[in-house]
Structure 1
Amino acid sequence: MTSVPSFLFPPPVSALPVEGTDKSFPVGRIWCVGRNYAEHSREMGSDPDRNPPFFFSKPADAITTEQTLRFPRGTSNLHHEVELVVALDRGGVALSPAESLHLVYGYALGLDMTRRDMQEEAKKNRHPWTLSKGFDESCPITAIRPAASVHNLENSLITLSVNGELRQKGVISDMIWSIAEMISALSHSVQLKPGDLIMTGTPAGVSQVKPGDVIEADCENVGHLSVRYLPD
């Protein structure tokens, strides 16, 4: 008979609402694709024509659905990065691009908030990016919209404005690596699992957010996100 584990304290569970239902999507891991839009790759000093996709991660408890956030500690140069998020409800390993799409449960809109000054210092010293990307509330995200309800995704416009000023604008089809290709590439490095989220990269135009700023992000056919950072 298998014994039931006795935890010292309740295990943490990160979850997102599923649009149109009373169910929640449990989040296991957050995988992020770096520099997946050509213009953003160039603005970050990379060559989009030669670099294969690379991945980093955020902890699951970095997600938040709150609309009012505390400005993060330890940074004077917080940057916004708006991204389409892919939610997986199946697992797999060493998948082809065609096989990969069968893992997709739905889509959301998210922000990969970045402490850019910490990231640049880490790059300069060849240190990990962990603290620049994986801090508390670094991943504001919408409810997940099931894939069956998402139409014409490839042609969907994705935008971000700060205090009413448009800063980022792209189309999902602008991605260097398609959703299927990204999932396939990642599955050759790790075994993908139900509950995995994949943030698919950001268009050009990333820039600074300050205390008191209001971010409005939108992805056609997927969702809308509004975040306000508390003033000092």
Structure 2
Amino acid sequence: MTLVPIFPVAPPPLIPINGAEGQGFAVRRIFCVGRNYAAHAAEMGNEVDREAPFYFTKSAYALCLSGSEIPYPAGTRDCHYEMELVVALGSSAREIGEDDALSVVFGYACGIDLTRRDLQAAAKDKRRPWDIGKDFDNAALIAPITRSDAFGQPGDQAIRLMHDGVEVQSAKLSDMVWSVPEIISHLSRFYALDAGDLIYTGTPAGVGPVAAGSRLEGQVDGLTPITVTIAGELS
């Protein structure tokens, strides 16, 4: 029996691709790596788990493109920015080894993970899932994707974020606790990764709150910068 939808469903979000005018990267799933910079873990009062990376997820419909003006997120009075390198997968990976992991990468992009920190903290205190603090409208910001062959491999490239013109985050991609190949290999043990999957690889130290009117500008050397403006009032 063939089923048809009873109401229209939004198509998957598309991300612009540098050098591919008129084409977009269709997003399937979003994985995010937690505590992947030791200094950030420390500023949040946590220790890095060096046994294995850990993850949380966001809906593909939480995605928001660079250059947007977005409302201050609902239900929070403490929304934080987190600048990240995003890995975009272009082919399938299941139990792939670290030596081969970069072969499934389509490209890379600058991203910002917005977090409703007060809601996340309340969930942690009650030993509940973080979903309400991490997965919400416009919570996964992203710039156009640069193909992997144009960017090269993640290494000593600088990653930084400016908040209202002041640098608040600065590190190197090599500061990540778990490298991109290690993340892809480990994640592929638990999920059948495929084209369209995004991985937000974690944030350096220096996270902090945004306010109505905040302008965020993030950069990773070799990638298209990301910008976003927060509009509206606190809920």
State TM-score, norm by structure 1. 0.95
Q: Deviations over 1:15-64 (max 9, x none)?
A: 11111112111100000000111101111222226452101100001111
Moved over 4 A (4+): none
Give the equivalent residue in structure 2 for 1:141: 142
Alignment check: 8 A CA contact 1:153 1:221 kept: no
Seen in structure 2, the aligned counterparts of structure 1 residues 9 and 57 have a Cα distance that, compared at 3 Å, is same
RMSD of aligned residue pairs (Cα, Å): 1.4
Contact 1:75 1:117 in 2 (8 A): yes
Aligned-pair CA distance for 1:9: 2.5
Which residue number in structure 2 is paired with residue 45 of structure 1? Answer: 45
Match of 1:60 in 2: 60
Where structure 1 has 5 or more consecutive residues not aligned to the other structure, the ranges are: none
CA contact (8 A) 1:67 1:227 kept: yes
Give the equivalent residue in structure 2 for 1:202.
203
CA shift for structure 1 position 144: 0.8
- Which one is further off, 49-58 or 24-33? 49-58
Q: Is the 8 A contact 1:100 1:183 kept in 2?
A: yes
Contact 1:160 1:218 in 2 (8 A): yes
TM-score calculated relative to the size of structure 2:
0.94
Instruction: Indicate the SS of the match to 2:199.
Output: strand
Contact 1:18 1:143 in 2 (8 A): yes
% same residue:
39
Match of 1:15 in 2: 14
The residue type paired with residue 100 of structure 1 is A
Q: Secondary structure at the match of 1:117?
A: helix
CA distance in 1 between partners of 2:228 and 2:127 (Å): 32
In structure 2, the partner of 1:26 is: 26
8 A Cα contact 1:80 1:112, kept in partner: yes
Give me the whole-angstrom Cα distance separating, in 2, the residues matched to 1:48 and 1:127.
20
User: 5 Å matches for 1:182-197?
Assistant: 182-197=183-198
1:46-195 matched pairs, under 5 angstroms: 46-48=46-48, 50-65=50-65, 66-151=67-152, 153-195=154-196
Structure 2: runs of 5 or more not aligned: none
8 Å CA contact retained: 1:152, 1:221: no
Contact 2:154 2:180 in 1 (8 A): no
* Cα pair distance change 1:50/1:157, threshold 3 Å: same
Task: Give distance in 1, aligned partners of 2:8 and 2:74.
Answer: 27
Q: Deviations over 1:53-108 (max 9, x none)?
A: 10110000111115211111100100000000000011121111112111100001
TM-superposed deviation, 1:153: 3.4
Amino acid aligned to 1:15: L
